[in-house]
């Protein structure tokens, strides 16, 4: 794999493939959201302004979630986890992006629900691109396997020379068709972001069967429980807004 692309000349600061994919995911997401905002009669340029809120909330939320989770599980130093270069967790980032993005919408007079719907396709595409970044750095891979497409990550986090399920690519393979479905439904759905949340949660429930996360309760992992929460949020919101139509 390719965890580092290059080191900044004259420094020891490495540019990671995950960081590049994360930046591309944000930029692609902002472009898609701007296009949909234009379709809704809103200023597309606001998508780039709100991108700053989403980025700050996403990165901050992902780091905070990781730090709290690792601190509770290992008892290690909270600040060490918080300020480490690693530890970008998607679900923490999603929560942070929604909260800070909603605050940005309030400040700039953009309806929160409409902006969330405009970000549904963007989030699915951006998450898929982020999973490519995870694959390139060897993070979030699955269990040892003998399937023909198994991959070893000798420079992964953590390293493994065993062939494992490339669950990052499984998630990408799920999210890209989801993005296509959401795009086709952007004029018909009462709550497009709710559909994204529910489909995201459903995919995580299934893909977790090939990952190595420890069981949390009732035989399910923490991401699976979060996936159930996303399904409840998405389906509940969908029916709520359907009644408003």
Q: Crossing angle of helices 192-207/222-244, nearest 10°?
A: 160
The residue extents of the domains of the chain are 4-244
Query: What pLDDT shows up at residue 132?
Result: 93
Per-residue pLDDT averaged across 116-122, rounded?
94
Q: Per-residue confidence at 239, pLDDT binned at 50, 70, 90?
A: very high
DSSP state letters, the chain: --SEEEE-TTS-PEEEHHHHHHHHHHHHHHHHHHHHHHHTTS-TTHHHHHHHHHHHHHHHHHHHHHHHHHHHHH---HHHHHTSS----HHHHHHHHHHHHHHHHHHHT--HHHHHHHTHHHHHHHHHHHHHHHHHHT-S-B-B--STT-EEETTSSS-EEEEE--HHHHHHHHHHHHHHHHHHTTTT-S-HHHHHHHHHHHHHHHHGGGB-PPEEETTEEHHHHHHHHHHHHHHHHHHHHHHH-
Q: Per-residue confidence at 9, pLDDT binned at 50, 70, 90?
A: low
Q: Per-residue confidence at 13, pLDDT binned at 50, 70, 90?
A: low
Q: Per-residue confidence at 173, pLDDT binned at 50, 70, 90?
A: very high
Of 31, 56, 60, nearest to 46 by C-alpha is 31
The Cα 44–Cα 41 span in angstroms is 9
Of 24, 203, 20, 190, nearest to 120 by C-alpha is 190
187: pLDDT strictly greater than 90 = yes
Query: What pLDDT shows up at residue 194?
Result: 97
The Cα 99–Cα 126 span in angstroms is 18
Q: Are 175 and 195 in contact (CB under 8 A)?
A: no
**Beta-ladder partners of 151:** 164
DSSP state letters, 4-31: EEEE-TTS-PEEEHHHHHHHHHHHHHHH
Q: Per-residue confidence at 106, pLDDT binned at 50, 70, 90?
A: very high
Residues 52-86: tens digit of each pLDDT: 898 898 888 888 877 777 777 777 777 766 666 56
Between 84 and 190, residue with greater pLDDT: 190
To the question of pTM greater than 0.75 for the whole model, the response is: yes
166: pLDDT strictly greater than 90 = yes
Please say whether the dihedral angle defined by the alpha carbons of residues 143, 217, 200 and 106, taken in this order, is positive or negative: negative
- Spatial neighbors of 134 by CB under 8 A, at least 6 apart, are 18, 140, 168
Q: Per-residue confidence at 238, pLDDT binned at 50, 70, 90?
A: very high
Query: What pLDDT shows up at residue 197?
Result: 96
Of 218, 244, 241, 200, nearest to 93 by C-alpha is 200
230: pLDDT strictly greater than 90 = yes
């Amino acid at each position: 794999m390719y965890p580092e692309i290059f080191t900044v000349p004259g420094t020891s600061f490495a540019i990671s493939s995950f960081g590049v994919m994360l930046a591309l995911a944000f930029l692609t997401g902002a472009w898609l959201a701007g296009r949909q905002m234009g379709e809704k009669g809103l200023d597309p340029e606001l998508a780039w302004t709100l991108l700053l809120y989403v980025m700050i909330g996403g990165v901050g939320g992902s780091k905070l979630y990781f730090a709290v989770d690792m601190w509770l599980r290992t008892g290690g130093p909270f600040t060490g986890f918080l300020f480490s270069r690693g530890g970008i967790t998607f679900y923490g980032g999603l929560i942070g992006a929604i909260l800070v993005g909603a605050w940005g919408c309030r400040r700039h007079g953009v309806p929160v629900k409409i902006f969330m719907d405009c970000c549904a396709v963007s989030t699915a595409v951006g998450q898929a691109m982020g999973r490519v970044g995870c694959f390139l750095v060897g993070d979030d891979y699955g269990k040892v396997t003998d399937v023909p497409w198994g991959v070893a990550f000798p420079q992964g986090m953590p390293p493994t020379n065993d062939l494992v399920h490339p669950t990052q690519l499984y998630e990408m393979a799920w999210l890209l068709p989801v993005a296509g479905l959401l795009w086709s439904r952007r004029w018909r759905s009462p709550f497009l972001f709710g559909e994204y949340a529910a489909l995201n949660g459903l995919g995580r429930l299934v893909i977790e069967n090939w990952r190595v996360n420890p069981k949390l309760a009732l035989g399910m992992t923490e991401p699976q429980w979060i996936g159930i929460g996303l399904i409840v949020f998405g389906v509940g919101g969908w029916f709520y807004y359907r009644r408003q139509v």
